[in-house]
Structure 1
Amino acid sequence: MLSRYGAQLAIGLLKLFALLPYGFVARLGDGLGWLLYQIPSRRRRIVHTNLKLCFPEWSDERREDVAQKHFRHAIRSYLERSVQWFGSAKKLEKLIQLDSAIDLTDPNLPPTLFLGFHFVGIEAGSIFLNYSLKRQCGSLYQPMSNPELEEVAKAARARFGADMASRADSARIVLRWLRDRKPVMLGADMDYGARNSTFVPFFSVPTCTLTAVGRLAKVGHAQVVPFIGEVLPNYKGYRLKVFKPWDNYPTGDDDADARRMNAFLEEQIPLMPEQYYWVHKRFKTRPPGDPSVY
């Protein structure tokens, strides 16, 4: 956990980096990620464990290549919070391409859950989705261990008209937002523990997966629209890809609805495996009786 002074230093550096060219900051983060990958660490072991579980057919060389590229992307993404949190709307418009299958400015947009996935570009994608909606929306966030950093992050993520709510307080608030026809952004593809979750396959591994998305969609009579923030090659910025609403979702079957989310990820991750958030302990919670994989 960062100390108060450590948080202040980190925030100051991010504000400074926001004044510098994006390409310079991205290259700096890339180089720092390469350097840190050379040092054996717990996070590096987590990345390799996740990749081995999800892609057992890969060669060691393939796994090593993706792991190193991912580590570089992950460290780079922290430095790029600078432009994402403190860059102007004009700067974001230049950096982020919008590829949307639906009209985000449609005044008749039905109650909608925008479901984000934890690729390294999720921060840029979420902020620009909020900006592109051109209306007030709701957004859920995972509390940070440092309260000072959390307040800065909340303010940055809310600057284009987002109401922020902690995941811990989410269900009642999300339903109220949907009732008011306010679009809601949330992420659900991480391991938040067994509560309100079920075990369904993710790359053939039984994985603790939240059931909240299907339940909220059912009670709130909402469509679910997936979106992904992609980091473009050659330090060109990002692409926000917004997909069509999922058909026949929710089904009312918690397992089937959770499996739908994981199946979507199984389609998207192979397109850019180095960008999915493998540094997270995705398989931390195991089915009863199963040993830890980490």
Structure 2
Amino acid sequence: MLGRLGTRLGITVLKLLAILPYGFVARLGDGLGWLLYQVPSRRRRIVHINLRLCFPDWSDARREEVAGLHFRHAIRSYLERSVQWFGSAKKLEKLIELDSEVDLTDPDLPPTLFLGLHFVGIEAGSMFLNYSLHRPCGSLYQPMSNPELEAAAKAGRSRFGAEMVSRADSARVVLRWLRDRKPVMLGADMDYGARNSTFVPFFGIPTCTLTAVGRLAKVGRAQVVPFIGEVLPNYKGYRLKVFKPWENYPTGDDDVDARRMNAFLEEQIPKMPEQYYWVHKRFKTRPPGEPGFY
């Protein structure tokens, strides 16, 4: 009962925050993130482990700086679900600038997998991509343990015409969408376990990486278009960056195709390292015989 009441209270707070100016909500989240970073926690420890693994040449001071900034971004992103899930389309239009190398309104857009990369602005980026397509699209989501929060998230994420399908039930549905030339949004740069994954380098570390993107692109004869939601400085909102389709992809080799995503991330993360989702256990699943990092 307390769990349900807490969830309902949290959703109510998000709805109220959606009424307030974005700058106020962003600053509130930033301050809360700074405060929580001062308290030793499991998530803070995960951030430091990830940064140490990926950037061994950084000084301790540099890692500490990026870790603190990332924690502020991560906590802030949760509060900003308010405007993303419950704010008006007009408000989102004012907050998000579009930088796309693909004509999202092209009526002849070929079958396309839009690959969302897990920077802290992925929620805003995904929703505005859906909005900018001006047509229904499909979107995959990871089920949550809290059914009421999941229902609120699905409702918010689907309000511009996205059809939401659980990742676990997605393969046949995604192929049907692609046959119907329905754009599909999905994320793959997280550790979902060894099933349907392979171990390929990510910043030099063998990393459990999904093979689904290449396989779906091959069977669905789809182009893969990565996108990033970037948080702009000075509480100005977001930039949705849509890149050109990957050339010569997929190759049909699971390892080569999975490595393509990780290599792309290795190019993008150094541009704004504080915004990649380091609070996630990216290296949780290890190759057989290797000890864990966390």
TM-score, normalised by the number of residues in structure 1: 0.99
Q: Which letter maps to 1:156?
A: G
Measure how far apart 1:165 and its partner are.
0.1
Cα distance in 2 for partners of 1:122, 1:10 equals: 21
Post-superposition shift, 1:255?
A: 0.1
Per the TM alignment, residue 232 of structure 1 is displaced from its structure 2 partner at its CA by 0.1
5 Å matches for 1:1-40? 3-40=3-40
Residue 284 (1) aligns with residue 284 (2): yes
Counterpart of 1:183 in structure 2 is 183
Q: Deviations over 1:266-287 (max 9, x none)?
A: 0000000000000000000000
Q: Please, which runs of 5 or more residues in structure 2 have no aligned partner?
A: none
Give the whole-Å Cα distance in 2 for the aligned partners of 1:209 and 1:130. 25
Equivalent residue number for residue 234 of structure 1: 234
Secondary structure of 1:3's partner?
A: helix
RMSD (Å), alpha carbons: 0.6
Distance 1:24 1:100 in 2: 28
Give the CA deviation at 1:93.
Answer: 0.3
What's the counterpart of residue 72 of structure 1?
A: 72
Post-superposition offset of 1:204: 0.1
Which residue of structure 1 aligns with residue 158 of structure 2? 158
- Secondary structure of 1:193's match? coil
Cα offsets for 1:16-50 (capped at 9, x unmatched):
00000000000000000000000000000000000
Amino acid corresponding to residue 7 of structure 1 in structure 2: T
- Aligned residue number for residue 120 of structure 2: 120
**Structure 2 residue aligned with 1:104:** 104
Mapped partners of 1:144, 1:25: distance in 2:
24
What is the CA–CA distance in structure 2 between the aligned matches of 1:186 and 1:54, rounded to whole Å? 24
CA distance in structure 1 between the partners assigned to 2:99 and 2:235 by the alignment: 18
Instruction: Give the counterpart letter for 1:27 in structure 2.
Output: R
Look up the equivalent residue of 2:174 and give its one-letter code: V
Q: Report the equivalent of 1:255.
A: 255
- Residue 251 of structure 1 aligns to a residue whose secondary structure is coil
What SS does the aligned partner of 2:170 have? Answer: helix
**SS of equivalent to 1:293:** coil
How far apart in 2 are the matches of 1:42 and 1:89? 36
Alpha-carbon distance between aligned partners in 2 of 1:77 and 1:144, rounded to the nearest angstrom = 17
Matched, 1:143 2:143: yes
1:11 positional shift: 0.2
In the TM superposition, residue 145 of structure 1 has moved relative to its aligned partner by: 1.1
Give the TM-score normalised by structure 2: 0.99
Matched to 1:61, the amino acid is A
Distance in 2 separating the partners of 1:110 and 1:146:
36
**SS of 2:49 mapped into structure 1:** helix
Counterpart of 2:222 in structure 1 is 222
The answer to whether structure 1 residue 58 and structure 2 residue 58 are counterparts is yes
CA distance in 2, matches of 1:181, 1:242: 19
For residue 69 of structure 1, give the secondary structure of its aligned residue in structure 2: helix
- Structure 2 counterpart of 1:168: 168
For structure 1, the residue ranges without an aligned partner over 5 or more in a row are: none
Identical residues among aligned pairs (%): 86
Structure 1 stretches of at least 4 aligned residues deviating more than 4 Å after TM superposition: none
